[in-house]
Amino acid sequence: MKHPTPDADTVRAAVALAVRAPSVHNSQPWRWHVDGRTAELRADLRRRLPHTDPDGRDLLVSCGCALHHFAVATAAMGWAARIERLPDAGEPGLLARIALVPHEPRDRDIALAAAIPRRRSDRRRFAGRPLLARDADRLRRAAADHGAVLRVVDDAPRRSALTGAAAAAAGLHHADPGYEVELAAWSGRGYAPDGVPARNAVLATVGRHELRVREFAGARLADTAGPDGAALTVLATTGDDRLSRLRAGEAVGAVLLAATRLNLASCVYTEPLELTSTRALVRDCVLGGGLEPQVVVRVGYPPEGAAPLPATPRRPLGEVLWPLPHAYGASLPIPVQLRGYRPS
């Protein structure tokens, strides 16, 4: 008996939603390989940022978020994703192997997938309304469903420690010429398919007690007036190995889509966790030790009266979606068309 397989349009649509996931500097450091009911996610190490992300943490978290979005997308299209993470120790670039099995979509599956194209990384100040307790609980549950812990940093000492770590990290990065060159290379872009466009990078004027967002070069997006009402959260894991980082990315994806469904604005922020010294400050002074911080997520109500943000660009699918090597033979050039459909 022949098992059903998703058609090419389904695969294309699922990967197109998966790559809407946020990534460090919008570098999109992933490659997708698909053949029938099997998909593989690989890290694109050519897109690793050595000065921003020296140990590859942000790359793994970024790919984990895309992995989450792929599973959400396929579930909405009638295919459940059975994920084997880090399946081959001899091939560290292979992050996940996914078997697609028939699945009856639920309303929740469809609602989550619909949230993917609505999500934006909003670096502006948020409206000055406290996050509702019930909304914070939903975000915590979204993280917990993927093996992570989401801590809301709502008391003054821990909030001060987090904003202080962010300011210290920004200062250390500013003193690193290699970091500055790397940041400029990925900033202020016009119509490039990757990097942070000028129209999405905020001209921030950071208040004394506010979290300093990363200062991208060539920023053109005006910040909103008044104090920042964003709730600051830290997503953490019990471990800090490669699997923990990948899983953290999946949890980030779940938190962001949960926030989007609640009509909340959100923004992932990793700068204070990219340096050993400031990361230790967050671990010890914000989380109290015992948990490994992976990502800071700003979340809150959208700026009142501010224009909606445009979507950030994504690379054409023909650059990120390839057939599995065994499906066509290793001698074929890559990337190639997948079963007859054209790259966008």
pLDDT tens, residue by residue, 87-111: 999 999 999 999 999 999 999 999 9
* Cβ proximity of 324 and 40 under 8 Å: yes
Q: Is the pLDDT of residue 312 over 60?
A: yes
Residues 265 and 172 placed together within one structural domain of the fold: yes
- The answer to whether position 126 is within a domain reads no
* Report for 120-124, 211-215, 330-334: range of highest mean pLDDT: 120-124
Residues 292 and 174 placed together within one structural domain of the fold: yes
* Cβ proximity of 273 and 57 under 8 Å: yes
Residues 170 and 226 placed together within one structural domain of the fold: yes
Residue-wise pLDDT for 121-174, tens only, equals 999 999 999 999 999 999 999 999 999 999 999 999 999 999 999 999 999 999
Residues 111 and 141 placed together within one structural domain of the fold: no
* Cβ proximity of 86 and 67 under 8 Å: no
Average pLDDT over the chain, rounded to whole? Answer: 91
For 288-310, what is the mean pLDDT? 93
- The answer to whether position 127 is within a domain reads no
Q: Which comes out higher in pLDDT, residue 343 or 201?
A: 201
Number of compact structural domains in the chain: 2
* Cβ proximity of 122 and 265 under 8 Å: yes
Residues 213 and 258 placed together within one structural domain of the fold: yes
pTM: 0.92
Check residue 205 and give its pLDDT.
64
Residues 142 and 274 placed together within one structural domain of the fold: yes
Nearest to 33 by CA among 41, 43, 22, 25: 41
Residues 164 and 267 placed together within one structural domain of the fold: yes
Residues 230 and 166 placed together within one structural domain of the fold: yes
Q: Is the pLDDT of residue 343 over 80?
A: no
- The answer to whether position 322 is within a domain reads yes
The boundaries of the domain holding residue 184 are 133-300
Nearest to 180 by CA among 214, 156, 207, 203: 214
